[in-house]
Structure 1
Amino acid sequence: MVSGGAAAAQETPATQDVELVLAVRVNGRVSPFLWQVTRLPDGALAMTAERLRLLGFDLRRLGIPPGEQLVKLADLPGVNVQYRESTQSLSFEAGDTALVPVVLDESALQPPLHPDSVETSTGAVLNYNLFVDGSRAGLHATGQYDFRFISRYGVGQTTGFANWRPPSKGGFEHVRLDTQWRYVDVRRVLAMTVGDTIADGGQLATAYRMAGVQIRRNYNERPDLVATALPVLTASAAVPSSVDLYLNGLRYFSGQVGRGPFEFRSLPNLGGGATATVVLTDASGRETKITKPLFFVPSLLPKGRIGFSLEAGFPRRNYGTRSFDYYPDFAASGTVAYGVSDRLTVLGHVEGTRDLWNASLGGITRLGD
C-alpha cells in the first residue's frame, strides 16, 4: 500500500499538493494515530496548526496563528524534522520551548459535575447537646440545638441555646443565634440566603452579621471547579524516566514521563509555603533531583474566574446574648473579586448605611512560583 501511494505521488503533477498519511514520533514518543501531512510542490512538508497543537506543540511560542491551514515543518523554530519515505514516518526533535508541558497529575482533578444529575430530597434533622450539673447550689442545665429542614427549594435552619438555673440565679434563658433559608443554584454556582447571614468583605472590609438577603458566588458547592490559582510546578526530562514528586517529604505522585517538559497543575493546597522535590530516574537507574519552593495563596482566583457577594438588610448587634437585636438603619454591601491572571486578583468593595459610605480597591498577587 505504501509503495502504491509512492507511485501515485510520482504521477501527480508537481504543481499540486500531495496528501500523505504518516506515523509520527515526537521526541521519541510514538503517536498512536496516523497523521495527515501535506507535501507541497517544492517538496516541503506542511501540517495544519491544529494538528501541530494536537501533537503537543506550543503554537503561541512558535508564533503560529491557531487557524493557519499550512505550516511548513522546516520553518518551525527549534524543531528538527526528519521524513523517512521508506517507513512512511515523520520524526520531530523539539526543544522544551516548542512543546506544551505534559500535565502529569491531570487525573487528580475532580470529574466534572453535571448539574442535572444532582438529586434533592425532603427531610429534617435535629442536632443537640445537653449538659446537666447538680450541686449544693442547685441544678444547672444548658443545651444547644441546630434544626434543619431540607427540601428541593433549599435548606431552612435555626440555631440557638438555652440555660436553666435556679430561679434565684436567673431561671430559664433562651437565645436564638441564626435563622435562615438558603438555596443553592448548582448550575450557576450561586447561593442565596434569606435571614441571618454574614456579610464578608474579604481582605477589604470587616465581616458583620446581618438579617436580610445575600446573593454570592460560592465555589464550595462545586468541588469540581478549581477556585484557587494553585502554583504550577514545571520540570523537564532529558530522557524517558520515572518521576516521583514529594511535597514536604511526602510522596504525592509517581509515574512515567517521556523526554521533554512536564508539569503538575493540581497540587494540593497545603496553605502557606511548601517544598517540592521532583526525582527523575532513567533506565540506567541514574537519579536527578529538582527542589523548588511553592507558595499557596488561598484567596488568589484562577485567570478569568470571578467571585462576588451582595447583601442588604439590617446589621445585628449583641449576637450570642440577645435574640432579636438589630440596628434600625438599613445597610448594604458588595464585594467583587476577579482573576486577571493566575498571579493577580483584583478586589473591589463598597458598603453603606445612613450617614456612612465606604469603598475600597485592592489586589492579591503571588510573587514566588
Structure 2
Amino acid sequence: MATAPLAAWAVQRAVLPLTLNGVVKGEVLAVLRDEDVLVRGADLEAAGLQNVAGRRESIGGETFISLGSLSPALHYQLDPQALALNVTAEPTLLASTALNLGAARPSGIDDRADPSAFFNYGVTWRDFGRVDPFGEAGLSVAGSLLSSTFLRTRDGDLARGLSSLTMDERQGLRRWVIGDSFAGAGGLGGSAFIGGLSVARNFSLNPYFVRYPTFGLSGAVLTPSTVDVYVNDVFIRREELPPGPFELRNLPATAGSGATRFVIRDALGRQQDITSPYYLSTSVLAQGLSEYGYSAGLRRDVDAGGLGRYSSPVFLGQHRIGVTDSLTTGLRLEAASALVSGGPAVNLRLPLGELELAGAASHDAGVSGAAGSIAYGYVGRRVSFGSLARGLSPRYSTVSLTPEQDRALIETSAFAGFQLSSRATVTVFENVSDFRDKGWMNRPGVSTTFLLTKQASLFLSVSRLVARPSGSSDAELTAFAGISYYFGSNTTGELFHEQADARGSTGIELQRTLGAGTGFGYRLQGRGGDGTDGMGGMVEYQGPWGRYEIAHDRLDGKDATTVSAAGGVVAIGGSLHATRPVE
C-alpha cells in the first residue's frame, strides 16, 4: 500500500526510478492514481518480479498492474519529492538465483579437434646387452584417435601391442573403442583383453562433471546479502545473493563425514548461521545418472609375439543406475564359449557410512558356482573404519577365473583408523583368507604415523602373518620403522629398518623426483643386515624433447644396469615438433 498521499497527483503517467528490495532496477513507466500506483507489466518483469497476479488494466495499448492489489506479498512507497518508487516484495515474487559452488568450466576454453599425429618412442639398454624398444603411434582426426603400440616381449620377439580406434562423445560422456581394449567387470567379476567393440560411460571426458550426489543450501533473502561457505570449518568462498529465493549447488565437500556452515548477512548486517552435518559417498551415483561398460569380441593373448593372437569370443558388461541420491543398483554379465556369469549389486549411502552388497552365480561347462560380498565403510574426521566379507564357492568362475584355479573361499578384512592429534594417527587392521587349495592365512597388524616437524615424519608398523597350508602351520612377525625428511625442491630422505622374525636390515635413501618442467632427478639408496643387502643409484633428466635415465643396482651380489631414453614427435598445423612422450 502507499505511504504517501497521492491526491495531488490526480491521474497521470510518470517515469520513476525503481528500487526493489534495496536494489536499484532502473526506470519504470507508472500511472499514478489516488491511493494506488500502476506499473507497466513488462517493467516489473524486467526488474525481476515473477508470478505477478494482481489487477491488470490496459492503458494506451499496454498492460499495467496495480501495486496495491499485490498486498500483502508486495508493499510500495512513493516519494513524491524525489519522484522515486521503492518496492519491497516477498521472495515468492522474486526470481530465483542458482549458484554452482563446484569447479566450473573456465570461460574461453576451446575444445579443438585439429588433425594431428604423434609418435612416442622409448628404448631401454639392459646390462649393456639386451635392447628393448617401445613405440606408440597415433593419428587424431575430427576428435577420433587411431593408435597402436609395439614392444619387445620377454622372449625377445617384437610384438604389436594394443591397437584401437577411439571415438568420444563429449556431450553424452560416452567412449567407443573399436579394436583392442581391457575390460573389467569389477567386484565379483573378471577381466580380459578383448579385440572387438567396447562402449562405456566415461565421466573423465568432462572433468567438471560431478557424478555423485552433492550438497548445497536453498532459502530466500529479502535484501541484498552475502553468504560465506565453510566445509569442516575451512572457508571455501563468498557469494553475493540478490533478493529472492536462492539455491547453492555442488558444494565442494570432502568425502566421508563432515559439516557445512553457511553464514548469511543481509544489507542491515543481520547474520544467520546454518550448520548441517553430511556424509558424502562417491560410490553412489546421483539420482537418474547411469554408468555402464559393454565389451564384446575375441579374447587376446597379450603375451603373444608378432601381430598378436586372438582366441574365443567373450563378452563383459555392467550397468549401474542411480535410483535415488542414496541408492544405486547395478547388474553384471559375463559370457564366453561355455561360460555365463553375473549378478546384481547395490550401493547404499547411509546417514553414517556406506554399504555395498553384491551377489553372483556362474555356469561353466556344466559346473555351477556362486559368490557374494558385503562391505561397509565409514570415513570420519577423527575416526574411520570399515570391513569386507566375501565368499566364493569352490567352482565359481568368471572370464578370468576358471573352476580349476585356486581362490579364497572366504575372505574378510577390517580396519579402524584414529587421528589421535594433529600430528599422530594410528590404524589397526586384520586380513583373513581361506584358500581352497593352499589353505588359510591371517595377517593382523597396526601402523602409526607421527609428524615430528613440518618436514620430518615417523612411520611404524607391525604385523604377524599366520599361514596354515596343507595342515601345517607357519607364522612370521614383520616390523618396519622409518623416518623421512623433506629437504625442499622435491627432495626427500629416509632412514629405515625392517625386521622379519630374526632377520633384519637397515637402509637409507635419498631421492629427488622430477617436476613438471625441465630438470634433474636422482635416487641413491643402500641397505644391509641379515636380510637383503644392496645399494644402487639412478640419475634422470627431463628435457624439452624427452626423458633420459641411467640406473645401476647391486642386490645380493648381482648387478643390474639400465640406460633408457624416451621422447616423442608431434605433427600438427603443417609442422613437426619434438617433445616428451605424448600422454
- Residues 309 and 112 (structure 1 numbering): CA distance in 2 closer, same or farther, change over 3 Å? farther
Equivalence for 1:183: 167
Aligned to 1:103, which of 98, 104, 108?
98
Q: Which residue of 1 aligns with 2:149?
A: 159
Q: Secondary structure at the match of 2:213?
A: coil
Change (3 A) 1:7 1:358: farther
The one-letter amino acid of 2:336's match is T
CA distance in 2, matches of 1:287, 1:55: 25
Structural mapping, 1:195-206, within 5 Å: 195-201=179-185, 205-206=189-190
Q: Counterparts of 2:179 and 2:157 in 1: how far apart (Å)?
A: 23
Aligned to 1:276: 260
Amino acid at match of 1:331: V
**Counterpart residue identity of residue 156, structure 1:** L
Shift of 1:126: 0.8
Correspondence for 2:139 among 140, 149, 152: 149
> Are 1:221 and 2:205 matched, yes or no?
yes
Kept in 1: contact 2:121–2:136 (CA 8 A) = yes
Secondary structure of the corresponding residue to residue 298 of structure 1: coil
For the residues of structure 1 that align with 2:27 and 2:268, how far apart are their CA atoms?
Answer: 31
SS in 2 for 1:110: coil
Q: What amino acid is aligned across from residue 200 of structure 2 in structure 1?
A: R
1 CA distance for matches of 2:267 and 2:74?
26
Mapped to 2, the partners of 1:236 and 1:341 lie a distance apart of: 26
Q: 1:154 Cα deviation (Å)?
A: 2.2
Q: Deviations over 1:90-142 (max 9, x none)?
A: 745547x9988643446952269999x743312122143535334xxxx3544
Structure 1: which amino acid aligns with 2:237? F
Indicate conservation of the 8 Å contact 2:148/2:163, yes or no: yes
Is this contact kept in 2: 1:141–1:163, CA < 8 A? no
d(CA) in 1 for partners of 2:162 and 2:27? 63
Contact 1:109/1:266 (8 A) holds in 2: no
How high is the TM-score relative to the length of structure 1?
A: 0.62
Aligned counterpart, 1:232: 216
Larger Rg: 2
- The one of 4, 22, 30 equivalent to 2:23 is 30
1:313 alignment partner, one of 273, 288, 297 = 297
Total equivalences in the alignment: 330
> What's 2:340 paired with?
357
Amino acid of the residue matched to residue 7 of structure 1?
Answer: V
Paired with 1:36 and 1:206, the residues of 2 have a C-alpha distance of 71
What is the distance in 2 between the residues matched to 1:129 and 1:273?
Answer: 48
Amino acid in the other structure paired with 2:230: Y
Task: Report the TM-score when normalising by structure 2.
Answer: 0.43
**1:91–1:337 Cα change, 3 Å:** farther
2:28/2:39 contact within 8 Å kept: no
Q: Distance in 1 between matches of 2:341 and 2:68?
A: 60
- Tell me by how many angstroms 1:313 deviates: 0.8
Which amino acid is the alignment partner of residue 333 of structure 2?
A: V
Q: Bigger relative contact order, structure 1 or 2, given CA contacts below 8 A and separation 6+?
A: 1
Give the alignment of 1:166-177 within 5 angstroms.
Answer: 172-174=156-158, 176-177=160-161
Matched residue type, 2:104: L
Shift of the 133–331 alpha-carbon distance from structure 1 to 2, 3 Å rule, reads: same
What is aligned with 1:246? 230
Distance 1:125 1:361 in 2: 43
Taking the aligned partners of 1:160 and 1:46, their CA distance within structure 2 comes to: 75
State the distance in 2 between where 1:75 and 1:346 align.
52
SS in 1 for 2:11: helix
Name the stretch that deviates more: 277-286 or 207-216. Answer: 277-286
SS in structure 2 of the partner of residue 220 of structure 1: helix
SS in 2 for 1:366: strand
Instruction: State the Cα deviation string for residues 40-83 of structure 1 (Å, max 9, x = none).
Output: xxx9x9999xx89x958799xxxxxxxxxxx999999xx74324
Alignment check: 8 A CA contact 2:67 2:76 kept? no
Contact 1:245/1:276, CA 8 A, preserved across alignment: yes
Distance 2:316 2:49 in 1: 47
Which structure has the highest helix share of the two? Answer: 1
Asked if 1:126 corresponds to 2:120, the answer is yes
Q: Which letter does structure 2 place at the counterpart of 1:120?
A: D
State the alpha-carbon separation in 2 of the partners of residues 114 and 221 from structure 1: 14
Amino acid at match of 1:133: D
Pick the structure with more strand per residue.
2
Q: Deviation of residue 292 (structure 1)?
A: 3.6
1:297: which partner in 2? 281
Q: Kindly indicate whether the alpha-carbon contact (under 8 Å) linking 2:118 and 2:138 is maintained by their aligned counterparts in 1.
A: yes
Aligned-partner Cα distance in 1 for 2:122–2:9: 80
Distance 1:108 1:280 in 2: 22
8 Å contact kept, 1:210–1:314: yes
C-alpha distance in structure 2 between counterparts of 1:248 and 1:201, whole Å: 36
Q: Aligned pair in 2 of structure 1 residues 143, 33: CA closer, same or farther (>3 Å)? A: farther
- The answer for the alignment partner of 2:315 in structure 1 is 332
The answer to whether the 8 Å contact 1:144/1:160 transfers is yes
- CA positional deviation for 1:211: 1.6
Shift of 1:312: 0.9
Q: Partner amino acid for 2:332?
A: H
User: What residue number does 2:178 align with?
Assistant: 194
- Give the letter aligned to residue 252 of structure 1: I
Report the Cα distance in structure 2 between the residues aligned to 1:261 and 1:366, rounded to whole angstroms: 29
Q: In structure 1, which of residues 1, 7, 10 is the aligned counterpart of residue 11 of structure 2?
A: 7
Q: Percent identity?
A: 20
Q: Deviations over 1:180-225 (max 9, x none)?
A: 2212234554322112213344567444332211123333223465
Deviation sequence 1:164-184 (CA, Å, 0-9, x none): 8xxxxx6x2555542222122
| Contact 1:58-1:100 at 8 Å conserved across structures | no
Aligned partners of 1:184 and 1:192 also within 8 Å? yes
- Structure 1 residues 251 and 106: CA distance shift in structure 2, 3 A: closer
